[in-house]
Amino acid sequence: MRFSILPAFILLLPLAEIAGFVVVGRAIGLWLTLALVMLGFVIGVVLLRRQGIGILRRMSSEGRNGVMPGRDLLRPAMNVIASLLLIIPGFLTDIIAILILIPPVRDLVWRAIAKRFVVVNAKGGFSSAPQPDFRDRKPNSKVVDLDEEDYHREPDRNSPWSGKHLGD
């Protein structure tokens, strides 16, 4: 069974945020802690309004047209993600948001996720953007490219699940 870090992160994040509130609240006091949380929220809303939802619509339309979102969309998209993280109350999400806003970190994230993009048109072909040939990438890859005639299965009449033996 493959363990994914995302569910554990989602479950542990609220606990870590509460611990962060306690630690920061003890260090600087209740009112300054609340002021910092509100400041993060306001900055997140301002960033989100500045970037707008337009960048998300643009990325969605480019994805539907089979165009891989390019590096020119990375900066505004990362700003939207950072602004959403700033809106979430908590210091850990604010730290992650600030890291996302730093250009070298953004470039590192781009290098990590760019090789994971596979854009396939609804017509079944790859997009016109230069795509790597995934058949030569890994011999044990989980990507299987089949045509209609490659996959064909005849029903097994002797199978107990075929329905023929239920009424016997």
For 58-115, the pLDDT digits (tens) are 767 776 766 655 666 777 878 888 999 999 999 999 999 999 889 888 888 777 777 7
Q: What angle do CA 64, 46, 53 make, to 5 degrees?
A: 15
DSSP-assigned beta bridge partners for residue 120 = 126
The residues spanned by each domain of the chain are: 3-113
What's phi and psi for 120, nearest 5 deg?
A: -120, 130
The percentage of residues in the chain with a pLDDT greater than 70, rounded to a whole number, is: 61
What's phi and psi for 42, nearest 5 deg?
A: -65, -45
Q: What is the per-residue pLDDT for 143?
A: 65
Band of pLDDT at residue 142, cut at 50, 70 and 90: low
Band of pLDDT at residue 134, cut at 50, 70 and 90: very low
For residues 44-52, give the mean pLDDT. Answer: 84
Q: At what angle do helices 71-87 and 103-114 cross, to 10 degrees?
A: 110
pTM of the model: 0.59
* Residues 3, 157: Cα–Cα separation, whole Å: 38
Band of pLDDT at residue 117, cut at 50, 70 and 90: low
121 vs 145, residue with greater confidence: 145
Q: What is the per-residue pLDDT for 129?
A: 47
For residues 16-40, give the mean pLDDT. Answer: 94
* Residues 3, 5: Cα–Cα separation, whole Å: 7
Q: What is the per-residue pLDDT for 130?
A: 46
How does the average pLDDT of the chain come out, rounded?
A: 76
